[in-house]
Amino acid sequence: MNVPAHAVVTGGAGFLGSWLCERLLAGGASVACVDSLVTGSLDNVAHLRGLPGFRFVEADVSAGIPVDGPVDAVFHLASPASPLHYQRLPLETLRAGSHGTGHALDLAARHGARFVLASSSEVYGDPEQHPQRETYRGRVDPTGPRSMYDESKRFAEALTVAHRDVHGTRTGIARIFNTYGPRMAVDDGRLVPTLMVQALTGEPLTIAGDGSQTRSLCWVGDLVDGLVRLAASDESGPVNLGSDDERSVREVADVILRVTGSSSPVRHVPRAEQDPLVRRPDLARARTRLSWTPTTPLRTGLARTAAWYADRLAGAAATPMGA
């Protein structure tokens, strides 16, 4: 599959952004990785620095995107993505979705480049339609505990559509569902890293509520392939990207216990306010318009992820105090 010759990835030192940078470089692209490092980490791109075609630009996209040279595609991923982070950084999250999206769109428009917005399944809120189709307008509380993220993505989508209509910018919107894999921070706070670290360290696995709420977890490599396919197409979207293999949180915990060989017990804790009860994308649009579908089984992906976390935790344990 063709990749753009010159790509800009905002949020490129984050979990998903670093995988996208790697994928684009492997396809022969030059990549400008832009990140403020507020939630991203240079560790995520340490293996890319020094490679031909890769450059890191430390910048807050809300203030501007200082990238020069040719640009063929702009992937806008910059935003805190974990509830732990976006609730700690509400204003920064809203600015990334508003000012940051505007700067990324302007950069694409100046170069006649393709623009891809990393939106989120969170635009559907706690959905009344299941599975969620792109035509569903969602059920979101604009003043609730998740509003800073939900509304930043909803506004970013609206701004993307307006920019396309007014300036003719070539845009595509991806609504990304739960994604997992290596490079999610140990203290990320989301489902997979939390349960994985607990299992590997022998701590109780904390299950919110009774664990019957569902998630559809997509291996990060599959998700990145969807983003690249969207960029290579003329599809404007929105397009759901994620897995439609829906599992209860308790099922996910059970798989993690099996792949880690852990005997950790399960401890139930209160569900977070407005935590969605169900999540599963309708993937018909992605399949027909992008010829994309995820292929990595959950157990396979979680086993790969467990190996990465085990190495990460072992490295942290081996680091001397104060080093």
Three-class secondary structure of residue 318 per DSSP: helix
Three-class secondary structure of residue 99 per DSSP: helix
Catalytic-role residue among 86, 124, 136, 149:
149
Is the confidence at residue 306, as pLDDT, over 80? Answer: yes
pTM: 0.95
Q: Kindly state the tokens that stand for 198.
A: 């607990």
The per-residue pLDDT for 323 is 47
Q: What is the dihedral of CA 101, 106, 168, 76, to 10 degrees?
A: -40
Residues 19 and 176: their CA atoms lie apart, in Å, by: 14
As a whole number, mean pLDDT of residues 244-269 equals 95
Is the confidence at residue 320, as pLDDT, over 60? Answer: no
Q: Kindly state the tokens that stand for 26.
A: 């492997």
The per-residue pLDDT for range 66-113, each reduced to its tens digit, is 999 999 999 999 999 999 999 999 999 999 999 999 999 999 999 999
Is the confidence at residue 319, as pLDDT, over 70? Answer: no
The per-residue pLDDT for 210 is 92
Q: DSSP letter at 311?
A: H
Q: Sketch out the chain's domains with CATH numbers.
A: 6-179+219-242+275-295 (3.40.50.720)
Our answer to whether residue 309 is catalytic in this structure is no
The per-residue pLDDT for range 191-200, each reduced to its tens digit, is 999 999 999 9
Mean pLDDT, the chain, integer: 95
Q: Place 316 in a pLDDT band, splitting at 50, 70 and 90.
A: confident
**Which residues are CB-contacts of 161 (< 8 A; sequence separation ≥ 6)?**
171, 173
Q: Say if CB 126 and CB 139 are below 8 A apart.
A: yes
Q: Say if CB 131 and CB 107 are below 8 A apart.
A: no
As a whole number, mean pLDDT of residues 228-235 equals 98
Q: Say if CB 171 and CB 160 are below 8 A apart.
A: yes
**Of 314, 17, 40, 34, whose CA–CA distance to 188 is shortest?**
40
The region of weakest confidence among 172-181, 263-272, 303-312 is 263-272
Is the confidence at residue 261, as pLDDT, over 80? Answer: yes
C-alpha radius of gyration, the chain, whole number:
19
